[in-house]
Amino acid sequence: MTPPVNARSTAILPSADAPTTPRAPVVGRVASRASGRAAATPTPTSPPPRRPAPTGKELAKRRRSRRRLIFGIAAILLTAILIAAGVAYAQYREGSGTGQVAQPSGSTKVSAEPAPLAADEQCTDQIKSNKRWVCLTSAVITGGKLTVDYEADWGGSTPDATGGYHLHVWGGSGGDDHDMGSHVPRSERGEWYVVDRDPSVLDVSDDRFINAIGDAQKVCARIALAGHGLVKDGKSGYQTGNCVKITRR
């Protein structure tokens, strides 16, 4: 049996003695690269010519121009300052005559002083000249309660709503104090409630609050006797106390 023929063994290899064809030198490509490099090399340029130095006349002209510019700016600034000073002086002259600058129109002056109290809210020296007196300092409704703070002089006695000196408290003004005691007929009496503690605290749901205070803007108080008549002051009136505005929160 004949063995198979190997394909590799049948390949024809060139002989070592076979002549080789010499390659031509590549001249054109090298020459073109060299010429390209030569063309890309920049050609040095000469510097721009310098401007000639200004002559004496030109220097003098430039200096005069600068001086005129400086003087012009200074004149504008001086004019603006004079105008502002004139406006300020005019406002000063148009003031109230007390040396104050006139306020711009529409401005609101804020007064640092509190508004004066009404006559019935003042705790005057006349009230304190009585042997017994009371001055209410605050009345606040908050949390369903009316709390009234006050200062009082009981003339050495202890306040007692059932058998001694005490306060009659009501809502209204100081002008109706003559009705707030048993010294007037029952048909003419107002509504009040008695106080002998400081501070006085009363529920707003209490009938005494509903009848004596209600929606009143102020709370008033006077010194009363054991029989619920009001104590007279030094002028045979009943100015032994004052009133105070109610703060509702």
**Are both 137 and 228 inside the same structural domain?**
yes
Per DSSP, the residues of 90-154 read HHHHTS-SSSPPPPPTT--PPPSSPPPPPGGG---HHHHTSSSEEEEEEEEEETTEEEEEEEEE-
pLDDT for the residue numbered 32: 46
Is the overall model pTM greater than 0.85, yes or no? no
Domains identified in the chain, total number: 2
**125 and 176 belong to one structural domain:** yes
pLDDT, position 193:
98
Enclosing H/E stretch for 167 = strand 166-171
Q: Are residues 130 and 198 in the same domain?
A: yes
The pLDDT value recorded for residue 125 is 96
**Domain identity same for 150 and 74:** no
pLDDT at 215: 95
Looking at the domain assignment, is residue 92 inside a domain? yes
> Given strand 200-203, what is the order of strands in its sheet?
193-195, 166-171, 218-224, 243-248, 133-142, 145-153, 200-203
The 3-state DSSP class for residue 244 equals strand
Give residue 10's pLDDT: 47
Q: What local confidence, expressed as pLDDT, does residue 85 receive?
A: 82
Taking the chain (249 residues) in consecutive chunks of 10 residues, what is each chunk's mean pLDDT? 49 49 50 48 61 66 77 85 82 59 55 82 96 97 98 97 96 84 94 97 98 96 96 94 96
Is residue 20 in a domain? no
Domain assignment present for 36: no
* Residue 111 included in any domain: no
Query: Rounded to an integer, what distance in angstroms lies between the CA atom of residue 249 and that of residue 246?
Result: 10
Question: Do 163 and 93 share a structural domain?
Answer: no
196 and 230 co-located in one domain: yes
**Same structural domain, 97 and 123:** no
Asked if the structure places residue 86 within a domain, the reply is yes
pLDDT at position 47 is 64
Q: Quote the domain boundaries for residue 87.
A: 60-101
At residue 71, the pLDDT reads 79
The answer to whether residues 87 and 172 belong to one domain is no
Does residue 244 share a domain with residue 127?
yes
For residues 95 and 135, state if they share a domain: no
